[in-house]
Amino acid sequence: MTEILRMKGVVKSFSGVEVLHGVDLSLNEGEVLALVGENGAGKSTLMKILMGIEQPDSGEIFLNGVKTIIPGPAHALALGIAMIHQELNPVPEMTVAENIFLGREVNRFGFVSRREQERLTEAWLQKLRLRIPPATRMRDLSISQTQMVEIAKALSLNSKILIMDEPTSAITQQEVNDLFHIITMLRDEGIGIIYISHKLDELFQISDRVQVLRDGNVINVTPTKETSRRAMVRDMVGRELSTIYPTCDSQLGEVLLEVRDLTRYGEFESVSFSLRAGEKLGIAGLMGAGRTELVSTIFGERQPDRGEIHVKDKVFAPRHPNDAIRQKIALVPEDRKLMGLNLIMTVGDNITMCVDRRESRFGLLNIKKNKEMVEEMVGSLAIKVHSYSQNVENLSGGNQQKVVLAKWLLTNPDILLFDEPTRGIDVGAKAEIFELINSLVMQQKAVIMISSEMPELVGMSTRVLVMCEGRLIGELSGADITQENIMALASPLQ
């Protein structure tokens, strides 16, 4: 196979802290290279250097055997290197064609030729077997369709190297299958793909080689067919991790939450269930089943059209999340960057944002008390930070999620709503979060956990409620909690 990329001895430091220690990486024509590692292992930094977003302190990059300097993203695109980021960022009010040609519009006599842009766009979409009209506005597309448009854009740039960062984190299994079909097609056409994912099982379906990073070092590079999930986990975390779903013998206590006939028209209808102290209640369902909307309503972010919520036998009608916080309810949201954090604030300010008012006197913050709370949370959750004044946007995904957890734990909640708590984080951080969930229910707190990862629900839940198209279809407990039973209930009847 022909080598199209080699990164050799790449070193990078931030604020005097070295995060990449002489990293090598190679990619062949028509190959899918899986790049894996815990959050903070250096994957994103290495890819930012390849895209010209960051510059290495030392090291070399070779494209088709020629030493190359990549001063910026525009230069990377010109060299045939494109990246599809985990957080897709289209211009929602513009059309598919306008997004694909943004910044390089097709001109005719000094005017943008929309007709020509749409003709070219349709050709690229047809190549990917996508039936999306080029004049469709991006706001009307699903996440997976938006992702496919990004791939079409990369191909329209004549990209030979495609970086895909967590491409399956927010799409359904059928959409994953469609994506894998497209990746296989691109590989067969000679495009080299660097595939970053925390979903280790899917790597065996799509990748040719696996490269593991840990703490800024290359730990192992091996053909995918010659490794195993267990070996990858061991290389990533530096130890054997027999199971990420720890056992827990919590005792069920009083009913802390009861939902009766709760309804939001067009989102979910007639949902009823109870939640007891010491319980881990899983909520399963396909995308669009109404799971996120349900917990958002319980938390006061949305208002129900019908039904009641009871907290400890008392009617609870939240008009705002502050009402839920006062009732000792916390929500760890699906999108931590959009809903859970203020990215331009510091780690310390994010952790204490929900308790600042409580710990203030005469409107003045108790700086000493705040520092003590931050130190306690950073230590107990093992959050990796350079300093408490570091902006939270510069943390890895797993550490950002721990900051969200720390923020809510300081409110001492009795009921915790976790919406996709492990999305976009590595296997080691997942195990730590599951240990935390178990410790919470052992303290007689109650947990609701939404997850699109069925093994998580099977491994962690006391009971599982299954939703389909806005309705609660069934309940599973004990030995009946299996992936097969969950899928049978979650799938719409044809």
Distance between CA atoms of 412 and 398, rounded to whole angstroms?
22
Distance between CA atoms of 71 and 52, rounded to whole angstroms?
5
Q: CATH 3.40.50.300 occupies which residues in the chain? A: 3-237, 255-490
Output the pLDDT for position 330.
Answer: 93
Output the pLDDT for position 494.
Answer: 44
Given a cut of 90, is residue 279 above it in pLDDT? yes
pLDDT, averaged across the chain: 87
Cβ proximity of 44 and 243 under 8 Å: no
Placement of tokens 């706001």 in the chain: 139
Which whole-number Å values give the CA distances from 308 to 262, 304, 472, in the listed order?
A: 6, 8, 16
Given a cut of 90, is residue 294 above it in pLDDT? yes
Q: Does domain 3-237 have CATH number 3.40.50.300?
A: yes
Query: Which helix H or strand E contains 309, and what residues bound it?
Result: strand 306-311
Q: Quick check: helix, strand or coil at residue 405? A: helix
Instruction: Say which range, 78-87, 180-189, 242-251, has the weakest mean pLDDT.
Output: 242-251
Distance between CA atoms of 156 and 313, rounded to whole angstroms?
59
Output the pLDDT for position 463.
Answer: 95
pLDDT digits (tens, 9 = 90+) for 140-162: 887 778 878 888 888 788 889 99
**What confidence tier does 88 reach under pLDDT thresholds 50, 70, 90?**
low
DSSP one-letter string for 415-456: EEEEESTTTT--HHHHHHHHHHHHHHHHTT-EEEEE-S-HHH
Output the pLDDT for position 334.
Answer: 82
pLDDT (mean) for 171-200? 86
pLDDT digits (tens, 9 = 90+) for 365-406: 566 777 888 888 888 888 888 888 888 888 877 788 888 888
**Most confidently modeled of 50-54, 94-98, 339-343, 422-426?**
50-54
Given a cut of 80, is residue 77 above it in pLDDT? yes
pLDDT digits (tens, 9 = 90+) for 428-442: 778 888 999 999 999
Which whole-number Å values give the CA distances from 36 to 156, 170, 204, 380, in the listed order?
A: 28, 18, 13, 26
pLDDT digits (tens, 9 = 90+) for 43-52: 989 999 999 9
pLDDT digits (tens, 9 = 90+) for 456-485: 899 999 999 999 989 999 999 999 999 889
**Beta-bridge partner residues of 300:** none
Which whole-number Å values give the CA distances from 234 to 228, 381, 421, in the listed order?
A: 10, 21, 22
pLDDT (mean) for 247-261? 93
Given a cut of 50, is residue 444 above it in pLDDT? yes
**How would you write 210-269 as a 3-class SS string?**
EEEEECCEEEEEEEHHHCCHHHHHHHHHCCCCCCCCCCCCCCCCCEEEEEEEEEECCCEE
Which whole-number Å values give the CA distances from 214 to 233, 253, 381, 435, in the listed order?
A: 11, 42, 20, 22
**What confidence tier does 304 reach under pLDDT thresholds 50, 70, 90?**
very high
Cβ proximity of 229 and 200 under 8 Å: yes
Given a cut of 60, is residue 361 above it in pLDDT? no
Topology, domain 255-490: Rossmann fold (3.40.50)
